[in-house]
C-alpha cells in the first residue's frame, strides 16, 4: 500500500517549483541511505553539530557553518544570536529589557510573505524590523538613514518573493554593512550558488536544504566563526523548539556533497525537456506557451502559459488542474494577468504528458 493510498491523499505532480507546501523536493537514494544510517545510530549531538558544520565549511569555503531545521529557523536564530552575542542570560531570556539593540534593517520590498512573514521570524528571534525605502525602491542611502544606535544587523532577502525593481544589490548591502560596522544576514533560501554571497562579504548566509540542494527538511547556515558559534548556542534557547534530527543533519551533508560534485541541471537539459512540453501545450486551443527564465535571475527555465479562452481563464485552469485523482500544482504568481508558469525540474517525462493531456481535457 502506498502512502497516498494509506492516508487517502491525492497524487501530486509538482510543476510549481521546490515549494514547502508540496514537500519541497525529491531526495536521492544515497541521501535516503545516509538518513537511514544516521537514524539507526547514536551521537553526542553537540559533537555532530560542530563536526558537520566544520566539514561543510571546509567543503564550501567558509569560516564555519551549522545545520538548522529550516531557512525560517535560520532567520530567527541568526537574529537572536546577533542580538545576544553569546550572552547566556540572553539565551534563557531572549526578550529581556536589558538588551535594547534589537533593530534589524531590511529593504521594505523584502519584508514579504513567503509562507509566513519575514517579520514574524525576525520577531521570533527577538528583533524589531525596521523597513528601509519603499516597496518599489530602496537604495544604500535609504538603508543608511534607518541605522541608529539600536541597529543590531542588516537583513537582505534574496528571493523571487522579494521586490526586484530598483532595490539595492547584495554587494551594495555589504558595502553599507561594512561602512557602518554591522553584521549582514542574507537569506538565500532557494539560491543555487553556495559560495557567492559569503564571498561577497555577508556575515551569515542561509540556504534551504530541501530546495536547490534537494536534501531533507533542513537548512545550511554559512558564516563568520563567531556568529556561527552564537547561533549554535541558541540550541539552549529558542533554537530548542526548532531542533533538527541526526538523520536530517547527515542527509543534508550527503546532499551537499552530491550538489558540489554534480552541480545543477543545465540549461540545455531543462530546455530539452521544456521544448516538447511547450510544443504540446501550443497545440491546445486557448493556450499560448513560451520559455521564460526565472524572474530572480537564477538558471531556471520554465514554460509560461497565457490562457486566452472565453470558457476558461488562468484562475479557472489552476483550480481545475488541482481537481481529480492527480493534482497538478503550478506557479500561480501571475494568474491575475492570465499567465501560469510550469517548472519542470521535478517533473518526469510521463508527468509532462499527463499535464498536457489534463489541460487539453479541461480546455475542451
Q: Do 211 and 163 belong together in one domain?
A: yes
Q: Do 87 and 199 belong together in one domain?
A: yes
- pLDDT at position 118: 97
**Dist CA 92 CA 75 (whole Å):** 18
Residue 78 forms part of a structural domain: yes
Q: Do 234 and 91 belong together in one domain?
A: yes
Residue 220 forms part of a structural domain: yes
Structural domain including 321 reads 3-23+265-363
- pLDDT at position 113: 94
- pLDDT at position 25: 76
pLDDT tens, position by position, 297-322:
778 899 999 988 888 889 999 999 99
pLDDT tens, position by position, 38-62:
999 999 999 999 999 999 999 999 9
Q: Do 271 and 333 belong together in one domain?
A: yes
- pLDDT at position 219: 97
H-state helical runs in the chain: 3-6, 29-39, 45-60, 71-84, 88-92, 118-124, 140-144, 170-179, 196-200, 225-233, 246-262, 267-282, 314-322, 349-363
Residue 28 forms part of a structural domain: no
Q: Do 168 and 273 belong together in one domain?
A: no
Residue 36 forms part of a structural domain: no
**Dist CA 192 CA 214 (whole Å):** 11
Q: Do 291 and 197 belong together in one domain?
A: no
Cα distances (Å, whole numbers) of residue 193 to 73, 80, 200, 219, 298: 20, 26, 12, 14, 9
Q: Do 185 and 298 belong together in one domain?
A: no
Supply 238's cell numbers.
529558542
- pLDDT at position 323: 93
**Dist CA 336 CA 314 (whole Å):** 7
**Dist CA 205 CA 78 (whole Å):** 9
- pLDDT at position 320: 93
Task: Report pTM.
Answer: 0.87
User: Which ranges of the chain have pLDDT less than 70?
Assistant: 22
User: Closest Cα partner for 346 from 24, 31, 4, 11?
Assistant: 24
- pLDDT at position 294: 84
Of 211, 243, 262, the position where a domain reaches its end is 262
CATH, residue 11:
3.90.1150.180
H-state helical runs in 240-343: 246-262, 267-282, 314-322
Q: Do 92 and 216 belong together in one domain?
A: yes
**Dist CA 293 CA 308 (whole Å):** 22
- pLDDT at position 60: 96
Task: Determine contact, residues 155/104, Cβ cutoff 8 Å.
Answer: yes
Task: Determine contact, residues 22/329, Cβ cutoff 8 Å.
Answer: yes
* Cell 527555465 found at: 301
CATH, residue 58:
3.40.640.10
Q: Do 256 and 153 belong together in one domain?
A: yes
Q: Do 154 and 277 belong together in one domain?
A: no
- pLDDT at position 187: 98
Q: Do 257 and 340 belong together in one domain?
A: no
User: Closest Cα partner for 360 from 275, 285, 279, 274?
Assistant: 285
Total domain count for the chain?
Answer: 2
- pLDDT at position 310: 81
Amino acid at each position: 500500500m502506498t502512502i497516498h493510498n494509506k492516508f487517502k491523499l491525492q497524487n501530486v505532480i509538482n510543476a510549481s517549483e521546490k515549494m514547502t507546501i508540496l514537500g519541497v523536493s525529491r531526495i536521492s537514494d544515497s541521501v535516503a541511505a545516509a538518513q537511514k544510517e544516521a537514524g539507526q545510530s547514536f551521537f553526542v549531538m553537540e559533537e555532530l553539530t560542530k563536526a558537520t558544520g566544520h566539514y561543510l565549511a571546509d567543503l564550501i569555503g567558509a569560516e564555519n557553518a551549522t545545520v538548522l531545521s529550516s531557512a525560517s529557523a535560520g532567520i530567527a536564530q541568526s537574529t537572536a544570536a546577533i542580538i545576544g552575542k553569546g550572552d547566556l542570560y540572553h539565551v534563557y531570556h531572549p526578550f529581556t529589557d536589558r538588551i535594547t539593540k534589537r533593530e534589524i534593517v531590511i529593504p521594505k520590498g523584502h519584508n514579504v510573505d513567503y509562507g509566513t512573514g519575514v517579520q514574524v521570524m525576525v520577531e521570533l528571534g527577538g528583533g524589531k524590523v525596521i523597513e528601509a525605502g519603499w516597496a518599489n525602491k530602496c537604495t544604500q542611502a535609504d538603508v543608511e538613514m534607518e541605522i541608529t544606535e539600536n541597529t543590531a544587523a542588516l537583513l537582505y532577502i534574496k528571493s523571487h518573493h522579494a521586490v526586484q525593481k530598483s532595490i539595492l544589490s547584495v554587494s551594495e548591502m555589504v558595502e553599507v554593512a561594512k561602512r557602518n560596522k554591522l553584521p549582514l544576514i542574507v537569506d538565500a533560501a532557494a539560491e543555487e550558488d553556495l559560495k557567492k554571497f559569503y564571498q561577497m562579504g555577508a556575515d551569515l548566509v542561509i540556504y534551504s536544504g530541501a530546495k536547490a540542494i534537494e536534501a531533507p527538511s533542513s537548512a545550511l547556515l554559512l558564516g563568520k566563526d563567531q556568529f556561527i558559534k552564537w547561533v549554535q548556542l541558541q540550541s539552549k534557547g529558542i533554537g530548542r523548539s526548532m531542533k533538527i534530527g541526526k538523520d536530517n543533519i547527515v542527509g543534508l551533508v550527503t546532499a551537499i556533497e552530491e550538489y558540489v560534485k554534480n552541480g545543477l541541471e543545465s540549461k540545455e537539459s531543462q530546455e530539452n525537456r521544456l521544448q516538447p512540453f511547450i510544443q504540446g501545450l501550443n497545440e491546445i486551443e486557448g493556450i499560448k506557451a513560451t520559455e521564460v527564465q526565472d524572474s530572480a535571475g537564477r538558471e531556471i527555465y520554465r514554460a509560461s502559459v497565457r490562457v486566452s479562452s472565453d470558457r476558461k481563464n488562468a484562475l479557472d485552469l489552476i483550480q481545475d488542474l488541482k481537481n481529480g485523482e492527480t493534482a497538478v500544482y503550478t506557479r500561480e504568481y501571475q494568474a491575475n494577468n492570465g499567465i501560469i508558469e510550469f517548472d519542470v525540474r521535478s517533473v518526469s517525462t510521463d508527468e509532462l504528458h499527463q499535464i498536457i493531456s489534463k489541460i487539453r481535457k479541461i480546455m475542451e
